[in-house]
């Protein structure tokens, strides 16, 4: 983990170190009775919870290239999600523990501790932060069913005020750690989180996005288009094959998704002078974009993802499922343009022949490019992918690095099969489309 995802390692190490420092700062009076212990734990849960919230906010910067340290943006989002969950859990226990700590003097004391007079505004700023967190995290954890993507994104902006109010609350009440440590911790993490939020919500629009125009819209199938984007201006996207971007279309005729950003995988090779993005109809915005008019302006932010690390072994088995073919498409096109022999076997899993999008192109590449093989796997005929199928078509799987991209269940199955075939965990790379 240290080598592959140093960012993940450093981040969780920071959480552990802070937790240890907090626990080590317990003082004599805290240990005197149950009440003192509860009070201390209430304060400790707040410190660790706020640290996790600030780290989650810092991760939300979505700086291109930064996600590589975390094993790609999907993996970074998963960490962000876990930090958010941990933070909310700890911060919800914080007032309850403090109330319990004061309950040795009766229920009224417990109430007064967490609901004091209005003039005790720092307590209320803490409450405001907690309630805002519940509101902006409710969709992330599906409190009220599956959320609408745009509403979820909009609500998530409340993270900014929540972080600020939480910090104000802490600056007033922090008394568990040594004052120097406490102010250094909150200043450092607070600035980091604030910088990330300012970049994400304000600056990235201006400085992080590249402008393109839709040159052509290729109808690959009735529910799949490939956009060909022509750069406007000199600043073009620098990327590696198989990465993805956040695309924002500007076409007011779109029935949904105008001026909204959504993540899509690049299907072109970086050697091409145009950007290509294959988009399958999977929701309102991706359905609407099938009808985007040539000439429309779009912006592209990225690139993100680290599906094909630079140091990956050259002998590779690719397992794609459905629209999970797109990163492989970009990669195969790139390898074809490089015109160097490769050792790559692609197993392309789809329901039936009609859904095997781009299969023709892969087969053409296989003819031209030495060492590139493609094997379609049709679910309706061959059932779920299994060992026998993989062995029959790619006997030396154990000696290959395996790259998997498809729907969740296929990813899990393919991963299990690769492990069963003797591929090491470090040599299995997966990418999924669910951005938690």
Partner 1 sequence: MRKLVYTTFVAFWAATGMLLALHLLSPNHNPAVVPEVVGSAIEPAGETAGAVPGPAHFTLQEIARHDRLEDCWMAIEGSVFNLTDYIPRHPTRPELLESWCGTDATAGMRTKGNDSDHSPRAWRMLERYRIGDLVAGESAG
Query: Does residue 24 belong to the site contacting partner 1 (CB under 8 A)?
Result: no
159-173 helix and 179-198 helix, angle to the nearest 10 degrees: 170
Report whether 431 contacts 305 (CB < 8 A).
Answer: yes
Number of residues that bind partner 1 (CB under 8 A): 44
* Burial of 107: CB neighbours in 10 Å, binned 0-12, 13-18, 19+: exposed
* DSSP H helices in 25-158: 34-59, 73-102, 107-114, 121-137, 149-156
Report whether 115 contacts 69 (CB < 8 A).
Answer: no
Q: Which stretch binds partner 1 (CB under 8 A): 1-9, 92-100, 157-165, 334-342?
A: 92-100
What does the alpha-carbon distance between residue 137 and residue 46 come to, in Å, rounded to a whole number? Answer: 17
32 vs 312, beta carbon nearer partner 1? 32
Q: Is 177 helix (H, G, I), strand (E, B) or coil?
A: coil
Q: Which stretch binds partner 1 (CB under 8 A): 56-64, 140-148, 230-238, 393-401?
A: 140-148
What does the alpha-carbon distance between residue 286 and residue 21 come to, in Å, rounded to a whole number? Answer: 47
Token pair 């199938």 in the structure block, residue: 221
Q: Which stretch binds partner 1 (CB under 8 A): 100-108, 259-267, 303-311, 341-349?
A: 100-108
Minimum CB distance to partner 1, residue 29 (Å): 5
165-204 binders of partner 1 (CB under 8 A): 172-175, 179
Residue from 16, 63, 65, 108 in contact with partner 1 (CB under 8 A): 108
Residue from 41, 57, 61, 123 in contact with partner 1 (CB under 8 A): 123
Minimum CB distance to partner 1, residue 121 (Å): 9
Give the Å distances, CA to CA, from 346 to 130, 133, 371.
Answer: 48, 44, 11
109 vs 351, beta carbon nearer partner 1? 109
Residue from 11, 18, 39, 165 in contact with partner 1 (CB under 8 A): 39
14 vs 26, beta carbon nearer partner 1? 26
119 vs 222, beta carbon nearer partner 1? 119
Beta bridge partners of 225: 219, 279
88 vs 402, beta carbon nearer partner 1? 88
Distance between the two ends of the chain, CA-based, in angstroms? 22
Radius of gyration of the chain (CA): 25
What does the alpha-carbon distance between residue 244 and residue 345 come to, in Å, rounded to a whole number? Answer: 22
> Which residues of this chain interact with partner 1, rule CB under 8 A?
27, 29-30, 32, 35-36, 39-40, 81-82, 85, 88-89, 92-93, 95-96, 99, 101, 105-117, 119, 123, 134, 137, 141-143, 172-175, 179
């Amino acid at each position: 983990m240290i080598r592959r995802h140093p960012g993940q390692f450093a981040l969780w190490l920071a959480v552990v170190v802070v937790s240890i420092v907090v626990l080590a700062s317990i003082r004599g009076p805290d240990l005197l009775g149950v009440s003192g212990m509860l009070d201390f734990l209430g304060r400790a849960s707040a410190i660790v919870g706020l640290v996790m919230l600030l780290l989650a906010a810092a991760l939300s910067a979505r700086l291109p290239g930064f996600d590589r340290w975390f094993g790609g943006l999907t993996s970074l989002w998963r960490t962000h999600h876990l930090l958010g969950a941990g933070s909310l859990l700890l911060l919800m226990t914080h007032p309850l523990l403090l109330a319990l700590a004061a309950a040795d003097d009766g229920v009224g004391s417990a109430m007064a501790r967490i609901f004091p007079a209005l003039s005790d505004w720092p307590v209320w700023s803490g409450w405001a932060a907690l309630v805002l967190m519940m509101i902006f995290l409710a969709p992330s954890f599906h409190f009220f069913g599956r959320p609408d993507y745009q509403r979820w994104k909009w609500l998530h902006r409340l993270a900014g005020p929540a972080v600020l109010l939480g910090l104000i609350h802490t600056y007033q009440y922090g008394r568990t750690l040594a004052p120097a440590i406490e102010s250094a911790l909150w200043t450092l993490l607070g600035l980091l989180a604030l910088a990330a939020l300012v970049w994400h919500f304000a600056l990235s629009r201006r400085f992080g996005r590249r402008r393109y125009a839709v040159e052509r819209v290729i109808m690959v199938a009735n529910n799949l288009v490939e956009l060909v984007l022509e750069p406007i201006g000199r600043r073009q996207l620098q990327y590696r094959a198989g990465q993805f971007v956040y695309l924002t279309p500007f076409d007011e005729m779109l029935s949904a998704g105008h001026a909204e950003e959504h993540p899509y995988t690049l299907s072109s090779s970086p050697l091409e002078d145009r950007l290509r993005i294959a988009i399958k109809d999977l929701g309102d915005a991706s359905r609407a974009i099938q009808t985007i008019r040539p000439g429309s302006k779009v912006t592209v932010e990225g690139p993100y993802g680290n599906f094909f690390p630079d140091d990956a072994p050259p002998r590779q088995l690719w397992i794609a499922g459905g629209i999970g073919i797109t990163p492989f498409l970009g990669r195969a096109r790139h390898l074809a343009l490089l015109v160097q022999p490769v050792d790559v076997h692609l197993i392309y899993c789809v329901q039936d022949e009609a859904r095997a999008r781009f299969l023709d192109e892969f087969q053409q590449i296989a003819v031209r490019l030495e060492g590139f093989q493609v094997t379609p796997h049709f679910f309706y005929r061959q059932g779920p992918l299994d060992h026998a199928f993989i062995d029959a078509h790619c006997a030396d799987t154990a000696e290959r690095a395996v790259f998997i991209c498809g729907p969740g269940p296929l990813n899990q199955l393919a991963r299990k099969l690769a492990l069963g075939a003797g591929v090491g965990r470090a040599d299995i790379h997966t990418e999924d489309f669910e951005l938690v």
